[in-house]
Amino acid sequence: MSRRALLAFDLGAESGRTILGELDGGKLEIRELSRFPNGMVNLLGHLYWDAARLFEEVKNGLAVCASEVTSEPESVGVDTWGVDFGVLAPDGSLLSLPYGYRDARTDGVMEEFFERVPRERVYELTGVQLMQINSLFQLFAMVRERSPLLPLVSDVLFMPDLLNYLLSGIKRNEFTVATTSQLYNPVKREWEGELFAALGISREVMQEIVPPGTVIGKLGEQIRLETGLKQVPLVATASHDTASAVAAAPAEGDGWAYISSGTWSLMGVESPEPIITARSLEHNFTNEGGIEGTFRVLTNIMGLWLLQQCREAWAAERDYSYQELSEMALGAPAFGALFEPDHPSFLRPPDMPEAIRSRCRETGETAPESPPEVVRCIFESLALKYRLVLDRLREIAKGPITRIHIIGGGARNEVLCQFAANATGVEVLAGPAEATAIGNLLVQALGLGHVSSLSEMREIIRESFSVTRYEPRETAEWEAAYERFRELHG
């Protein structure tokens, strides 16, 4: 295999990166070319994504690649978070900045929509966990508010689809991100007409759904002029960042679960078909698309958003690094306080440390006061939530689960990874930390025919990147803490 260059844009809720991948002899090397901050913008009381600035950052990454890399990339691929979308007018122009999923306009919207379609029916049709941030409920918020944009909407493009459109002029919805929307039926494998009818919105606003690895076109002429690149193919990679991350789990065989650990912790199993049962509804598991037609049966856990927001709240007094915070946590007493990480009060609080203290007081826990106590409280509560989800996965999934792969940025957090092993009682394998970019790159390679299968992708990852193993410790203490956590969880 000759050396092949590929370019990935990996956009997360906190930052975005341009990553060059070079595939050679069954090994992948990656290099960061640029990094830029991201975050929701508050305009007149609503939260939006600055799509124009993100597009400029992507073009800047292309220009950096053109100027600094000897070999022009064979393809480009973009991944982002799910559920959020942009809307286009009939002339192809962007009607508005895309709303951010933490915007308050969806408060209470699920209950109103369930008056049109019962919650059980929504889940039966989509297999997607019921969360107010889902695209279905974001669209219904526009319907409820009689948004003046609705009559003008010609096309709906999820965030990676929107960036692909701006790069190429081609409108497509990629499979993995489409399945996060709660607008897609994974059994029929098409947009669900019953839900669009309930919204009062034509299904024609959605695009053709293409599988991950589809070459959808080439960079547009204006992009080539601005960046200095030539007619590079644009691949609809595994456009949902979690799909790319899970594709990069260096797993072999069966019997494993994953945690894609970042702003959110996405915990689940890989399944050849969706799992849509009364039990999966009760535990609010979702079915999101993966590679080669697989499904990621998972649930969303609030994740390191809790720590990110605490760090931001403390920044005025001291700008802690994430490494400092993790080390400080080990100096705090074990199991001083526990809380449910997914309580709605943590979605967008003005002061995260106070929100955590307040929730602890409400449940009879001793509120953590100092930063070390708060951080330890976060890590222990997250690890115990992983245990709860693992128990529930074992109820609905086929076969045993004997190990967990932690992938993404959270794989670098040694304290949380060890706590996860302690709480779950199974081996944890952490890494690669750059799983999303790696998955993005190798799905591009799959689409170009340089890699033959998901199995070969994972073999390349095992040969190219190391993992850190964590064995369970102090299991008796963690088992006692789990019983206490389950009581708090209700």
User: Is 236 within 8 Å of 210 (Cβ atoms)?
Assistant: yes
User: Is 5 within 8 Å of 22 (Cβ atoms)?
Assistant: yes
Q: For residues 163 and 10, give the distance between their C-alpha atoms in angstroms, rounded to a whole number.
A: 12
Q: For residues 292 and 176, give the distance between their C-alpha atoms in angstroms, rounded to a whole number.
A: 11
Beta-carbon contacts of residue 171 (< 8 Å; ≥ 6 apart): 88, 155, 157, 161, 165, 207
User: Is 19 within 8 Å of 38 (Cβ atoms)?
Assistant: no
Q: For residues 30 and 360, give the distance between their C-alpha atoms in angstroms, rounded to a whole number.
A: 42
Q: Which strands sit side by side in the sheet containing 286-289, from one edge to the other?
A: 286-289, 295-301, 265-271, 256-261, 403-407, 427-430, 468-470
User: Is 83 within 8 Å of 138 (Cβ atoms)?
Assistant: yes
Amino acid symbol at 173: N
Structure tokens at 379: 């890590």
User: Is 150 within 8 Å of 163 (Cβ atoms)?
Assistant: no
Q: For residues 338 and 356, give the distance between their C-alpha atoms in angstroms, rounded to a whole number.
A: 9
**Catalytic machinery residues:** 241
Structure tokens at 231: 């007619």
Beta-carbon contacts of residue 307 (< 8 Å; ≥ 6 apart): 322, 325, 375, 378
